[in-house]
Amino acid sequence: MASTGNIGQGAYTAAKAGLVGLARTIARGYGSRNIRVNVVNPGFHKTQLAEGLSPEAEQAILSRHLLGRPADLAEVCGFFTWLATSQSISGQVFNLDSRLPGWL
């Protein structure tokens, strides 16, 4: 969302884009001290936040996924574990869903 935007969600999009810029700035400024900073966008998941979605809205979200399903929360946790053990990755943005950006 930070790179494509969504109608009616300007503040949300700006906040996400700001976090990406902040993370990359911190990664660049503190990499020499072996401090790694990355952004992980976990994507859509069935959580309390999504409880109010209509079945049609949920289906619209899932239809944009190349795999037809969101990442499982266990998959997301596994990715965080892997990323925490990596010593050579910093300043990156990871999208953990299979959606293509709107500009492709």
Encode pLDDT of 3-23 as tens digits. Answer: 667 788 889 889 989 999 999
What does the alpha-carbon distance between residue 28 and residue 68 come to, in Å, rounded to a whole number? 36
Does the pLDDT value for residue 104 go beyond 50?
A: no
CATH topology of domain 10-95: Rossmann fold (3.40.50)
Q: What is the pLDDT of residue 2?
A: 61
Domain residue extents for the chain: 10-95
Is residue 30 annotated as part of the catalytic site, yes or no?
Answer: no
Of the candidates 55, 15, 61, the one whose C-alpha atom is nearest the C-alpha of residue 39 is 15
Max mean pLDDT range (5-9, 48-52, 66-70, 74-78): 74-78
Catalytic residue chosen out of the listed positions 6, 9, 10, 12: 12
